[in-house]
Amino acid sequence: MRAEYGRMSALVKTSGAMTNQAGPPNYNTAAITTHISKEDGMANHAMEVWRIFSKPDGTSSMEKVAFTLEPQGSGWSSPQMNGKGFVVKRLKRDMQAKWHTAPRRQMGYTIYGEGEIETGDGQKLVVRPGVVTLLEDLTGKGHLTRGHGEGDRMIVFTALDDDVKVV
């Protein structure tokens, strides 16, 4: 038997319909899922990540991917992911970026506020704290980024080395 708690998800718009990928109404905007397994009685943590990538035709797309946090010490941890630093950005709530590719392979973590990412195939993702993006659309048309919600958004981008396997 598997008991679930803390189930959260992201809002994604595909083909014109807004869908809630999972979760109770109070937690429908983050992307972290936690389970308790019968086997060990411990929480097995898996973090959902939205991968934004370039398709062969030059448009971008997104897909939900997951990697598991393994027990370590008094908590859970992912493997070390090496990179060449990080950037912290504060984006205005009304920002409307033009189509652009990611400047490097990177992960984005929203600290506070909300944003929206739209890919070339029309998918839209509302990003909030708890929603992690893996940006790999380095060629082609890229994606759009917009402000969303009532306030500014603070985001941390961590650069990833080319050989880092995230998923």
Residue 51 lies in a domain: yes
Helix (H) or strand (E) holding 165: none
**CATH code, domain with 123:** 2.60.120.10
Residue 166 lies in a domain: no
Residue 167 lies in a domain: no
CA–CA separation, 122 and 13 (whole Å): 8
Count of domains observed in the chain? 1
How do residues 79-126 score in pLDDT, each as one tens digit? 788 889 999 999 999 999 999 999 999 999 999 999 999 999 999 999
Mean model confidence pLDDT for the chain: 77
pTM comes to 0.71
Domain ranges, residue 10: 2-159
Which residue in 116, 142, 145, 146 sits closest to 128, CA to CA?
A: 116
CA–CA separation, 80 and 72 (whole Å): 12
Residue 138 lies in a domain: yes
Residue 72 lies in a domain: yes
Lowest mean pLDDT among 28-32, 37-41, 71-75, 157-161: 28-32
CB burial readout 119-153, b (16+ within 10 A) else e = bbeebbbbbbbbbbbbbbbeebbbbbbbbbeeebb
**How many alpha carbons fall within 13 Å on the CB side of residue 61?**
10
Lowest mean pLDDT among 12-16, 44-48, 77-81, 132-136: 12-16
Residue 164 lies in a domain: no
Place of tokens 């944003």: 115
Residue 165 lies in a domain: no
Residue 71 lies in a domain: yes
pLDDT band per the 50, 70, 90 thresholds, residue 78: confident
Share of the chain above pLDDT 90, in %: 53
The stretch 143-151 carries a mean pLDDT of 94
